[in-house]
């Protein structure tokens, strides 16, 4: 096998490695939590914060209502007990009861609002949690496939790297330096086959002397136009 043909094999391996590594980068990026998952988590957390606040507000209003109910009951018991006989004292007691009942009416209104607000907050929370679960389940399902793909890619990369090492061992340091340099500057294509007597890299026909070199095969024949190494197949 000519040096150029070995280089062509090496390039095939390197192109495969480029493709595998590119895909591995994509897979690794996709295995991180997506923006969609993060947004769903944030929305559920926000809904929970509101629900927790509304639950506490309702509890506090209920406690205040209970205290007020007790006060009203006690005042009414005193009023109807017959203990208080002084008309002025009785009137004061009646006024107190009326005032407590007005407070109670206002409180009942607030409590009703708090209960409605809480009901809505609980409904929103339930919906956000369901959405979060659904999005995370889809994300986890995709993770299983991606994890398997990553394992395959890493095994393929190991295999190709072994082949790359053994192929490079067949070539001299100067040949490899030329190849590596051309790969860097020629979009990854250092070696090209001849296609109908033209360079497959740029389409230009090589000169007579280049064709001669190609036939002899003891040194690299290079396209006079794009400088790539040519291989006759």
Considering the complex, state which of residue 132 and residue 206 has its C-beta at the smaller distance from Zn ion.
Answer: 206
Told to check if 206 binds Zn ion by CB under 5 A, we report no
Told to check if 202 binds Zn ion by CB under 5 A, we report yes
* Contact pattern for Zn ion over residues 146 through 185, marking x by CB under 5 A: ----------------------------------------
Cα(71)–Cα(201) distance, integer angstroms: 96
| Residue among 199, 214, 221, 229 that touches Zn ion (CB under 5 A) | 199
Q: Shortest Cβ distance from residue 45 to Zn ion (Å)? A: 60
Considering the complex, state which of residue 10 and residue 199 has its C-beta at the smaller distance from Zn ion.
Answer: 199
* Region from 69-77, 79-87, 174-182, 202-210 binding Zn ion, contact rule CB under 5 A: 202-210
* Region from 89-97, 125-133, 168-176, 222-230 binding Zn ion, contact rule CB under 5 A: 222-230
Cα(41)–Cα(27) distance, integer angstroms: 22
What own/partner pairs with CB < 8 Å and gap ≥ 24 does 114-123 have? 114/54, 114/57, 114/58, 114/61, 115/58, 117/54, 117/57, 118/51, 118/54, 118/55, 118/57, 118/58, 121/47, 121/50, 121/51, 121/53, 121/54, 122/51
Q: Shortest Cβ distance from residue 43 to Zn ion (Å)? A: 57
C-alpha closest to that of 31 among 162, 150, 133: 150
Considering the complex, state which of residue 135 and residue 201 has its C-beta at the smaller distance from Zn ion.
Answer: 201
Q: Shortest Cβ distance from residue 226 to Zn ion (Å)? A: 3
Binding-residue total with Zn ion (CB under 5 A): 6
What residues contact residue 139 under an 8 Å CB cut-off, 6+ apart? 33, 34, 36, 37
Q: Shortest Cβ distance from residue 201 to Zn ion (Å)? A: 4
| Tokens linked to 108 | 């009942």
Told to check if 17 binds Zn ion by CB under 5 A, we report no
Told to check if 223 binds Zn ion by CB under 5 A, we report yes
Told to check if 225 binds Zn ion by CB under 5 A, we report yes
3-state secondary structure of 218: coil
Q: Shortest Cβ distance from residue 224 to Zn ion (Å)? A: 8
C-alpha closest to that of 193 among 139, 144, 230, 151: 230
Q: Find the largest Cα–Cα distance for the chain.
A: 134
| Residue among 132, 201, 214, 220 that touches Zn ion (CB under 5 A) | 201
Write out the residues near Zn ion by the rule CB under 5 A. Answer: 199, 201-202, 223, 225-226
């Amino acid at each position: 096998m000519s040096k150029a043909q070995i280089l062509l094999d090496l390039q095939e391996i390197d192109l495969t490695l480029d493709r595998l590594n590119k895909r591995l980068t994509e897979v690794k990026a996709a295995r991180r939590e997506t923006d969609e998952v993060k947004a769903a988590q944030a929305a559920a957390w926000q809904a929970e914060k509101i629900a927790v606040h509304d639950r506490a507000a309702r509890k506090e209003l209920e406690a205040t209502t209970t205290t007020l109910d007790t006060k009203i009951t006690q005042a009414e018991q005193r009023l109807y007990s017959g203990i208080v006989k002084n008309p002025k004292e009785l009137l004061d007691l009646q006024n107190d009861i009326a005032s407590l009942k007005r407070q109670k009416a206002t409180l009942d209104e607030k409590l009703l609002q708090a209960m409605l607000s809480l009901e809505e907050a609980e409904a929103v929370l339930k919906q956000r949690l369901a959405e979060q679960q659904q999005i995370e389940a889809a994300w986890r399902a995709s993770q299983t496939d991606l994890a398997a793909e990553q394992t395959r890619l890493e095994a393929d990369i190991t295999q190709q790297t072994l082949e790359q090492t053994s192929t490079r061992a067949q070539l001299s340091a100067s040949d490899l330096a030329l190849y590596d340099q051309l790969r860097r500057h020629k979009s990854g294509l250092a070696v090209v086959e001849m296609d109908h007597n033209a360079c497959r890299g740029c389409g230009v026909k090589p000169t007579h002397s280049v064709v001669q070199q190609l036939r002899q095969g003891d040194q690299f024949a290079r396209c006079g136009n794009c400088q790539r190494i040519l291989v006759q197949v």
